[in-house]
Amino acid sequence: MNNISRSNTEPGLPETGLEGVLLSMLDVETDDMLKQDVKETLISLVQATSSDLLSYWLSLCKDILASCMGADMRSTILIEEKSDGTGDEEDESEGIDDDVTLQSASAVNQEEKMKVIPRWPSRVFATEIVQRLMSACETERAHIDLALAKELQISSGGRADYLVLHLSDLVRMSFMGATSDNTNLRLAGLSCLQDVITRFSSVPEPEFPGHVILEQFQAQVFFYINMQSWPSYF
């Protein structure tokens, strides 16, 4: 399950924060110049916060790219209501809380239905953001060294976050784009998949000496290789 909320989200903004609002504008705004300004703003934010908000950006992009793959791949919002009391009062409180939870869940479901499904230009842009995240992170060795990334994450108490720890998401998002029916999104996905392969093709798997971490994604890698042999696919 994705967790796309930010601890510093301003009051009045959705859980996706300002960045999520800006991304959603790309699907409703009709002014091309304003849309370009929004894109440039988002790119600047990515470059400035890629290290500190890596998981957050990847979650935003994954939600956009998964929007066309079915509701089961979207982020799930869980609403929990805690109750106080003992004995019969506790049982009664639990019943009330269950009603509140169901009503809250219904409101969330209604809100989800009203959301605009990201169009293919937005999904292409989300793929480009993923590529920019990879470029912004490549200067630090831990982002492409699994053993070092795990070591630093443990020493930081789980606070440190590195690109290589999200390899499965990077491959998955690239593959979703690369298998799209839309030519522009397919090209963007293949380009992103190429970047993933280029950056992680020689990264060793620390638990299995003599192997690389991309071996677990052989199907996606072979897909990319085959696509390079079929230019008519484009």
> What are the tokens at 3?
């967790």
Instruction: Report the alpha-carbon distance of residue 163 to residue 133 in Å, rounded.
Output: 9
Max alpha carbon distance in the chain (Å)? 70
Provide the residue-wise pLDDT of the chain in tens; the chain has 234 residues: 344 445 555 555 667 788 999 999 999 999 999 999 999 999 999 999 998 999 999 999 999 998 755 433 433 333 333 444 444 544 444 454 545 444 544 544 544 545 678 899 999 999 999 999 999 998 899 999 999 999 999 998 888 899 999 999 999 999 999 999 999 999 999 999 999 999 999 999 988 888 999 998 988 888 887 776 655 444
pLDDT tens profile 25-45 = 999 999 999 999 999 999 999
Coil/strand/helix, residue 157: coil
- Look up the pTM and report it: 0.74
Domain ranges across the chain: 16-69+117-229
